[in-house]
Amino acid sequence: MNKGLIIIAAAFVIAVTVLAGWSLVRQQDNPNTLELFGNVDIRQVSLAFNGSERVAEMRVQEGDRVEAGQVLATLDTRTLALQIAQAQAQIDVQEQVLLRLKNGTRPEEVDQARADVASAQADADLAAQQLKRLLDVEKTADKAISQQDLDSARSRRQVAEAQLKNRKKALRLAVIGPREEDIAQAEAQLDVSKAELALLRHQISLAELKAPMNAIVRSRLLEPGDMASPQRPVYALAITDPKWVRAYVTEVDLGRIKPGMSARVTTDSHPDQPIRGHVGYISSVAEFTPKIVQTEELRTSLVYEVRIFVDDAEDRLRLGMPATVRISLDNHRDAPGAAQ
C-alpha cells in the first residue's frame, strides 16, 4: 500500500512538472540571467455595428493591417438618407413658423383688422338705428309694429355688437403680436426636430465601422448582403500594441525578479535577433497548485505567471508563438506602465 502511494505521488509530481513544461525556469551558465519559456500573447477585439441593416461593403481582408479610424465596413444607408431629408424639410417648415411669430403681425394685417372694426361698428350703428326707429314708430302708432319685428331688430343689434366686440379684440391681438409662450413653443418644437436630425446623422455615421486602434485583421465574419446587428461581430482584430510573452516562474525564483527588469526575447525563427522587453506583470496567485497534498517537494513545483512586455517594432512575434525569455537579474529599469 505504501509503495502504491509513493508511485501515485511520484506520478503526480511528474504530471505537474510536465504541465508547467516549457514555462519553468532553466538556469543558464550565467547565474545572473534567468531563462523562461512561454508564448506570445496579445489582446483581441471583436467589432460589430450598433445598428441592424444590410452590410453594403467589406473593405479589408484577413491579415490586413488597419489604422485607428480606418473604415473597415459600411451598412446600407438609403433609408437613413431619406429620413434625414424628411427631418430637414420639417425643420425648414418650423423655422419659417418661428420666424413668422418673432416678426409679429404685419402692418397690412393691422390695417385690415382696423377696417374690420370699422365695418363692424357701422353694422352695429345701423342695427341700433333700425331698432330705435321701430321703437319710435311703436310709441306714435298704436301697435303698428309687430312684436316679431321688434325682436328681430333687437337680435340684429346684439349680433352686430358682438361682432364689433370680436373685431376689436382681433385688432388688439394684431397690434400686440404673438404671445411669448407661442414663440417658446415653436422654438421647443424646432429644437426637437433638430435633435431628431442629429440622431439620424449620428446613426448614419455609425453605419461606418471604424478601427478603434492600429491592429491586424484576424477574422472576417460577415460579407456584403448579410444582415448586421450589435450581436453579430463583423471583424476580429488583433491589437499589436501592447504585446507580451506569457511565461511562468517557480516559487524558488519568484523573489529574484520584479517589474521593470530588462529582458531579451528570442524565437526559433530569429534565434540570433533578440527583442528588447521588460517584466511588466507578476501574478500573485500560483498555478498548478495541488489541492490536497502539500509537501515541501510539491511546493517547489508551484509556478506564477509572468508577462514580459516587448518592443516589437518589426512585428516579428505572432500570437501563440513559442518564445524564450532571458531576464537580467543584475540590471533592471523602471518601465513605464509596469504593474504587479
Residue with cell 426637437: 192
- How sure is the predictor about 79, in pLDDT bands with cuts at 50, 70 and 90? very high
Cell matching residue 74: 459600411
CA dihedral 102, 108, 109, 114 (to 10 degrees): 130
> What is the domain partition of the chain in residue ranges?
19-42+242-332, 83-202
**What is the chain's mean pLDDT, rounded?**
80
25-39, 108-122, 211-225: least confident range: 25-39
Q: Map the chain to HEC letters.
A: CHHHHHHHHHHHHHHHHHHHHHHCCEECCCCCEEEEEEEEEEEEEEECCCCCEEEEEECCCCCCEECCCCEEEEECCHHHHHHHHHHHHHHHHHHHHHHHHHHCCCHHHHHHHHHHHHHHHHHHHHHHHHHHHHHHHHHHCCCCCCHHHHHHHHHHHHHHHHHHHHHHHHHHHHHHCCCHHHHHHHHHHHHHHHHHHHHHHHHHHCCEEECCCCEEEEEECCCCCCEECCCCCCEEEEEEEEEEEEEEEEHHHHCCCCCCEEEEEECCCCCCCCEEEEEEEEEEEEECCCCCCCCHHHHCCCEEEEEEEECCCCCCCCCCCEEEEEEEEEEECCCCCCCC
- The percentage of the chain sitting over the pLDDT mark of 70, rounded to a whole number, equals 78
- The percentage of the chain sitting over the pLDDT mark of 90, rounded to a whole number, equals 31
- How sure is the predictor about 88, in pLDDT bands with cuts at 50, 70 and 90? very high
Which residues lie below 8 Å from residue 311, measured CB to CB, with a gap of 6+?
Answer: 275, 276, 277
Taking only the tens place, the pLDDT of each residue in 97-144 is 888 777 766 677 766 777 887 888 888 888 788 777 777 776 776 656
CATH superfamily of 19-42+242-332: Efflux pump adaptor protein, beta barrel domain (2.40.30.170)
Q: Is 191 exposed, middle or buried (0-12, 13-18, 19+ CB in 10 A)?
A: exposed
Which residues lie below 8 Å from residue 175, measured CB to CB, with a gap of 6+?
Answer: 105, 110, 113
CA dihedral 219, 221, 223, 226 (to 10 degrees): -170
Which residues lie below 8 Å from residue 285, measured CB to CB, with a gap of 6+?
Answer: 304
Cell matching residue 301: 513545483
Cell matching residue 336: 513605464
Q: What is the pTM of this model?
A: 0.58
Residue 286 forms beta bridges with which residues? 304
Distance CA 186, CA 86 (A): 18
Taking only the tens place, the pLDDT of each residue in 278-306 is 998 888 887 764 444 344 455 556 788 89
Asked whether the predicted pLDDT for residue 308 surpasses 50, the reply is yes
Q: How many CB atoms lie within 10 A of CB 312?
A: 20
Residue 245 forms beta bridges with which residues? 40, 308
pLDDT at 67: 92
Q: Is the C-alpha dihedral spanning 275, 281, 286, 287 positive or negative?
A: negative
- Residues found in the chain: 340
Distance CA 76, CA 59 (A): 14
Peptide bond into 242 cis (omega under 30): yes
Asked whether the predicted pLDDT for residue 73 surpasses 70, the reply is yes
Taking only the tens place, the pLDDT of each residue in 113-122 is 778 878 888 8
